[in-house]
C-alpha cells in the first residue's frame, strides 16, 4: 500500500494532466500541490507547455517560478481557465475545508475567479461530514475581541501560532484563528455567520466551488469525481 506522500504525488501528477496549452492556471498551495507544480514544471521544460500561472500563495509563486512556470498576478489576467488546489477535508457533498496551510484567502479569491476548479487529494481527506478544524483569517486589529466572540459562540477557537509561539501571519499579514467543532453546524449557515462578523476577512469553508476532485487511493489508483 502506498504511503500518503506517494498518493499525493500520484494524484498531483494526474491533476496536472488537465492543464492544456495556452491556459491561465490558478495554482494552489500545500504539499499535494507541490507535486502538481513539479509536474507542470516538467511539462513546461519537456513539452514546451505554455501557460500563465496565478499563485494562491507567495510560496507557490516562488516554487513555480523556480521551475520555469511564468507567474502572473491575479489582477493582470482577463480570466482564469482552471485552478488546481488541495484541500484539508472534502465531504460527500463536495464541501471542503481549506486553510491548513494558511493560504485560504488567496485560494478563495483565485477559486471564485476561475472558470473551473479541480481539487486534488489523497483519500484520507474524504469524509462523510466535515470534522476538520476550520481556519478563519482575521484582521489583527481587534482580533482578541473577535476571538472572545467566537469563544462565546461555542466555536472553541485557538490561535494559529508559529514554532516561536507568535501568531502566524498570512500572505496578507492577517492572523488565523482555528475553530474546533464537536459537530460541524450547517456549513452554509456557519459560513454566512462568520462572513458577517466584523474583523473576519474570510473563512476556510469552500462551498459550491469545485467542479472535479482527483483522488489518490490507497490501492494506488486514481479516481476522478465530477
Active-site residues, by number, are 107
Instruction: State the binding site for substrate.
Output: 29-32, 85-88, 98-101, 125
- CB nearer to ligand 5RP: pick between 32 and 117: 32
Axis crossing angle, helix 58-66 with helix 31-47, rounded to the nearest 10:
30
29 lies in the site for ligand 5RP, by CB under 6 A: yes
Residues ≥6 apart with Cβ < 8 Å to 194: 136, 200, 203, 205
Q: Binding pattern to ligand 5RP, positions 35-54, x when CB under 6 A?
A: --------------------
Which is closer to ligand 5RP, CB of 104 or CB of 146? 104
Question: Binding ligand 5RP by CB under 6 A: which of 14, 49, 85, 178?
Answer: 85
Ordered strands of the 200-203 beta sheet: 157-159, 175-179, 134-138, 200-203
CB of 152 to ligand 5RP, least distance (A): 27
Size of the site for ligand 5RP (CB under 6 A): 17
Report helix, strand or coil for 184: coil
Among 102, 136, 150, 215, indicate the residue that binds ligand 5RP (CB under 6 A). 102
d(CA 7, CA 10) in angstroms, rounded, equals: 5
26 binds ligand 5RP per the rule CB under 6 A = no
107 near ligand 5RP (CB under 6 A): yes
Q: Which stretch binds ligand 5RP (CB under 6 A): 99-107, 137-145, 193-201, 213-221?
A: 99-107
Q: Give the residue among 35, 29, 76 at the shortest CA–CA distance from 57.
A: 29
Q: Grid coordinates representing 222? A: 486514481
Q: Would residue 146 be called left, alpha or beta, if left means φ above 0 and alpha means ψ between -120 and 50 degrees? A: alpha
CB 92, min distance to ligand 5RP, A = 19
Residue selected from 36, 104, 130, 176 as contacting ligand 5RP according to rule CB under 6 A: 104
CB atoms within 10 A of CB 1: 8
Longest dimension (CA), the chain: 55
Nearer to ligand 5RP, 28 or 187 (CB): 28
Our finding on whether 199 is near ligand 5RP (CB under 6 A) is no
List the one residue out of 204, 209, 190 whose CA is nearest residue 137.
204
- Position 31 contacts ligand 5RP (CB under 6 A): yes
Amino acid at each position: 500500500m502506498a504511503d500518503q506522500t506517494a498518493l499525493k504525488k500520484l494524484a498531483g501528477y494526474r491533476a496536472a494532466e488537465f492543464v492544456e496549452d495556452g491556459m491561465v492556471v490558478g495554482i494552489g498551495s500545500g504539499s499535494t500541490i507541490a507535486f502538481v507544480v513539479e509536474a507542470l514544471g516538467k511539462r513546461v521544460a519537456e513539452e514546451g507547455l505554455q501557460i500563465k500561472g496565478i499563485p494562491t500563495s507567495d510560496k507557490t509563486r516562488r516554487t513555480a517560478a523556480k521551475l520555469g512556470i511564468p507567474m502572473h498576478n491575479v489582477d493582470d489576467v482577463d480570466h482564469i481557465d482552471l485552478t488546481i488546489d488541495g484541500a484539508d477535508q472534502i465531504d460527500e457533498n463536495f464541501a471542503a475545508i481549506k486553510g491548513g496551510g494558511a493560504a485560504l484567502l488567496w485560494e478563495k479569491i483565485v477559486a471564485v475567479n476561475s472558470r473551473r476548479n479541480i481539487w486534488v487529494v489523497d483519500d484520507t481527506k474524504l469524509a462523510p461530514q466535515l470534522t476538520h478544524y476550520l481556519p478563519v483569517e482575521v484582521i489583527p486589529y481587534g482580533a482578541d475581541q473577535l476571538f472572545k466572540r467566537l469563544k462565546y459562540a461555542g466555536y472553541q477557537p485557538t490561535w494559529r501560532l508559529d514554532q516561536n509561539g507568535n501568531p502566524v501571519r498570512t500572505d496578507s499579514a492577517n492572523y488565523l484563528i482555528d475553530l474546533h467543532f464537536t459537530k460541524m453546524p450547517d456549513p452554509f449557515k456557519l459560513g454566512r455567520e462568520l462572513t458577517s462578523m466584523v474583523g473576519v476577512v474570510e473563512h476556510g469553508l469552500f462551498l459550491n466551488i469545485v467542479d472535479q476532485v482527483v483522488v489518490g487511493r490507497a490501492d494506488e489508483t486514481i479516481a476522478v469525481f465530477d
